[in-house]
Structure 1
Amino acid sequence: MPPVATENVAPDAAKSDTSAPYLSTLPANDFSWQITLAEKVVAITGANRGIGLGIAEVCLANLATNVYSLDLMEPGEEFATLQKRYPNFQFIQTDVTSEESVEKAINHVVEATGRIDGLVANAGMTKHQPALKFERPELEQLFNLNVFGAYFCAQIAARKFIELGIKGSIVMTSSMTSYRPNRAAPSAPYGATKAAVRNMCHTLAMEWSKHGIRVNSISPGFVRTAMTYYVETAPDWDLKMQYYGGMPRLADPRELGGAYVYLLSDSSSYTSGIDIPIAGIVGAW
């Protein structure tokens, strides 16, 4: 009697599974095991400011050959300041909700550098208000950018990795609100979008592992950006910090960067399908 695992399997399907090449993420024998992005080209969506800009700075500090910000808005003063220090930090105007725009941007990166090694799907937005006040257009805007934008950026990057034979890494920015509510500034739809991002990373990691592509996510807690600066101005901020039990401050965006660098580097060759919470014990709230 044949093994159970091979029963009722169509011959064509079985042939397809065995014929597909498996691309291992294990580095070469002479790999130094230094955590570095040397010789890596990385694209980061939404890196003109905020968390994305912080990630870009840490990637550049860890010797990334090129870092591209794929952003819809024009670069500002913060971007220009970082670019003065790192001329290999560049901007490509991109609408991550448009598959055509994303594909054009990724192709531009490859045409300019000959490769792409990592994609950080970071662009996103939030809206904090009571759930009873959300209308469909607001939900559609959140999901279109945070979920569909991240998904298609990952899909387009993965296709390019496969085309070029590159063992690429995809990192998505989720949120601690994907685990639990943000009691300081509730937003049920935002938390739902970030839970979707975190969840789909697991399945994408499983599907694309045979191509040598790793997919992971990072879940930040409170980070000081243009979207969260107001948190520290709340009249009860000092009282909250007194009973917080964790780090009594917002994070600098660069404090997230080390985790992104690790996941983008070859040193994380056996790390896929995970989420790394970086929240200063924000779960205590």
Structure 2
Amino acid sequence: MPPAAVTLQNATVGTSSPVEQLAPNPVFLSTEPGPEFDWKISLRGKVIAITGANRGIGLGLATVCLANDAAEVYSLDLFEPGEEFQALANANPKRLRYLHCDVTSEENVLKVVDDIVAESGRIDGMVANAGMTKHQPALKFDRPQLEQLFNLNVYGAYFCATAAAKKFIELGIKGSIVFTASMTSYRPNRAAPSAPYGGTKGAVRNMAHTFAMEWASHGIRVNSISPGFVRTQMTYYVEKAADWNLKMQYYGGMPRLADPRELGGAYVYLLSDCASYTTGIDIPVAGIVGAW
């Protein structure tokens, strides 16, 4: 028997051995699925909240969540829904709902999360997606513009994540939180630079890692998605530029903008129980990453 084995064997004998004096194992809520889990990537039975889902990326994510059997999807948005939202709601009766929410107000976010649980009995996922950008040289930003970006993109995401985490812990739910970060959290956008926007998304991506570490013992998973160029009201003009095709020849990657729904598969995976051992990561979904 090797000396190490003898030492270990001797250490486990007696009532005052070093092994017995170690601190007890911490109690944690495991995310591991039970024996009856069918391993299908699905949101069946889940109640998902998505901030800023009345249009753009958020509406695309709501579409894909519903297509993957989410029981209910709530859009938490500051603005009233438009025709696209209403069309999706009509196609999914009683499964898509809108709640007015200012994510920059912690009190408002906490109330809305309470309202979701009051209406649906639970909440399983929070997608902190609402955000804004402003593209201009760094030296042209003033303090109010900076505060507007950070209030929505950073503080708003923080309030949504912490409100959801508190409710998950209160209800004993193995919840999932997904942030919408950005490829600008990795590198600058040469086509439309915005140092403050990239800074806010870098903060979001780091928060996901840290929250994942802090809340793992509660069975809460926290991740982020970093989209590339996506076709929304904020970016539609990009592919209309006269030099767009020329840029794509030199920069490589997929020479187009993404439909918002093309991001949805990554979010569905992270929100689903099939991602039970996935936390603290960022998934780039950026078909034209070479253009950044």
Correspondence 1:74 to 2:80: yes
Shift of 1:244: 2.8
2:203 matched to which residue of 1? 196
1:215 matched to which residue of 2? 222
The amino acid across from 1:63 in the alignment is D
User: What are the superposed Cα offsets for residues 73-129 of structure 1, whole Å, 9 maximum, x if unpaired?
Assistant: 000011011111112100000000001111111111100111000000000000001
Structure 1: runs of 5 or more not aligned: 1-16
Shift of 1:27: 0.6
Shift of 1:213: 0.1
2:14 matched to which residue of 1? none
Shift of 1:245: 1.3
CA distance in 2, matches of 1:78, 1:129: 30
User: What are the superposed Cα offsets for residues 132-181 of structure 1, whole Å, 9 maximum, x if unpaired?
Assistant: 10001100110000001001110010000000000000000000000000
1:26 matched to which residue of 2? 32
Shift of 1:21: 3.0
| Correspondence for 2:61 among 49, 52, 55 | 55
Give RMSD over aligned pairs: 1.1
Shift of 1:18: 5.4
- SS of the residue aligned with 2:237? helix
| Correspondence for 1:271 among 264, 272, 278 | 278
CA distance in 2, matches of 1:274, 1:281: 21
CA distance in 2, matches of 1:73, 1:146: 16
2:231 matched to which residue of 1? 224
User: What are the superposed Cα offsets for residues 36-73 of structure 1, whole Å, 9 maximum, x if unpaired?
Assistant: 00000000000000000000000000000000000000
Identity of counterpart residues, as a percentage?
75
Correspondence 1:171 to 2:163: no
Correspondence 1:154 to 2:161: yes
2:46 matched to which residue of 1? 40
- SS of the residue aligned with 2:118? helix
CA distance in 2, matches of 1:100, 1:75: 22
- SS of the residue aligned with 1:229? coil
User: What are the superposed Cα offsets for residues 187-216 of structure 1, whole Å, 9 maximum, x if unpaired?
Assistant: 000000000000110010000000000000
2:244 matched to which residue of 1? 237
Shift of 1:19: 8.4
Bigger mean CA offset, 234-243 vs 137-146: 234-243
User: What are the superposed Cα offsets for residues 224-267 of structure 1, whole Å, 9 maximum, x if unpaired?
Assistant: 00010111121211211222311000000000000000000000
| Structure of greater Rg | 2
Bigger mean CA offset, 190-199 vs 243-252: 243-252
Q: How many residues align?
A: 269
CA distance in 1, matches of 2:242, 2:142: 29
CA distance in 2, matches of 1:216, 1:57: 20
The amino acid across from 1:138 in the alignment is Q
Taking structure 1 as the reference length, the TM-score comes to 0.92
Structure 2: runs of 5 or more not aligned: 1-22
